Chain A
Amino acid sequence: MLAIAANDGVVRARQVARTLAQQCRLSLVEQTKLVTAASELARNTLVYGGGGTMTASLVDERGRRGVRLVFADQGPGIPDVDLALTDGWTSGSGMGLGLSGSKRLVDDFVLESAPGRGTTVTITKWGR
């Protein structure tokens, strides 16, 4: 488990994602997609969640191997998840593509959030 409390946490999250993606023998394209999604979600955890954690693991399911990353924070939560997942919507000064883009970059994407109870995003990328 990795703490995301400052910018270096985002950098570490990318490095961990890259290492696991290589262990899982993902192609260079898939590696880059996972690393980029990790970067987006880690930064959201830091900027909007007020800091949190990333838990990384290799998973085996039905003969497939994959990388799973769980980003969790105890921040304000997301009041309207559909809106947050809309391309181009941002409550800050971003491009509003981090969440929706990450969803497209990975195979499985689960977002759990409720106002006042924080946000958890779980992503998985499967190898072949």
Chain B
Amino acid sequence: MVAGGEGTTRLVELLTVRGEDLGADWADRVSRSLGGRVSRSEVQRELGELYTALLTALQTGSLDAHGEAFGEVRALLSELSRSRARQGFTPSETALSLFSLKEVLEPVLTGEDGGDVRAYLAFTKLVDDLGLFTIEAYSRTREELIGAQAEQLLELSTPVVKLWDGVIGVPLVGTLDSARTMVVMEKMLQALVDTGSEQAVIDITGVPAVDTEVAQHLLKTVVAARLMGAECTISGIRPQIAQTIVALGIDFGDIVTKATLADALRHALRASGVTFTRPGGSAGAR
């Protein structure tokens, strides 16, 4: 907690007397630093509100950025940080909006007595604290964004497609961690119900490595499907994956595995009673 008193009185004086000029100067600097990606009038509006809130807070005599008096200021800064983070501005660009307020105040300091210097020093400390608050609010927003994107990606990268009547396909791309497995399993089981399918093909052509964790996840998924009366085939086992699985010692038991998606589809269709005939009428293998 920083003691206020005479320091804030002088600050309020400085910021009020030439308030309009300072506000305009501040908006100029900020909109320049943002390279015109936010309109001048938008910047003016944001900073105008902030300027007023800042003055109001200072008038209480407080210089504590985290104190009650600055509640409104912090709310406005949070909002500003959120919108900057969403628009893709960097943390520096965001914090600079606040830091440039120091430069704005510099020319109006008279320096005739020590009062201005003390007031200015107290002010920079306050602006620094508020700047840090801004950066924290900014990173919180970014983390939320990243979290949301990761979740979207999870959904996006696990489509379930209908391959044939009664046969669905689950092409897996990338690593299969626990979170992904949950999503894959849920989507696949739901699709089995929705489409009334009894065959599913899980294709792992796009999975770069199958270790014990991935294998365990695959096995669990197959078991869950079986409990619902559906059969799973695993396809897309490339030579390097096959050799690695053997060396690791993983046993897929009685689960049917195939090299290609085409092989797996043929197997699934046969299992669901589809017969193949060659063109020309001669009966094909059953």
Contacts and interface: CB of A to CB of B under 8 A. Distances in A.
Interface stretch (A53-61, A63-71, A100-108): A100-108
Interface of A: 7, 11, 14, 18, 28-29, 31-33, 35-36, 39-40, 43, 87, 94-95, 97-98, 100-102, 104-105
A97 B248 contact: yes
A71 to B, nearest CB: 14
B207 to A, nearest CB: 11
Chain A at the B interface: SS class = helix
B239 A97 contact: no
Contacts of B243: 29, 32-33
A95 B215 contact: yes
Given A14-B209, A40-B211, A94-B212, A101 B240 contact: no
Contacts of A43: 211, 213
Nearest to B215: A95
Interface string B195-213: 0000000000000111111
B177 A32 contact: no
Contacts of B275: none
A97 B244 contact: no
Given A32-B209, A36-B209, A101 B247 contact: yes
Contacts, number: 64
A33 B215 contact: no
Given A31-B240, A100-B249, A104-B248, A95 B209 contact: no
B216 interface: yes
B211 A39 contact: yes
B241 interface: yes
B255 interface: no
Interface in B223-244: 239-241, 243-244
A43 B243 CA distance: 21
Nearest to B211: A39
B216 A105 contact: no
Contacts of B208: 14, 18, 32, 35
* Most central of A18, A95, A105 by chain B CB within 10 Å: A95
Given A11-B175, A29-B240, A31-B240, A97 B212 contact: yes
A36 B216 contact: no
B250 interface: yes
Contacts of B244: 29, 32-33, 36, 105
B249 to A, nearest CB: 5
Which 8 residue pairs spanning A and B have beta carbons closest together?
A101-B248, A32-B240, A39-B211, A29-B240, A95-B212, A104-B247, A36-B209, A28-B240
Nearest to B213: A43
A98 B212 contact: yes
A40 B212 contact: yes
Nearest to A104: B247
B66 to A, nearest CB: 30
Contacts of A105: 244, 247-248
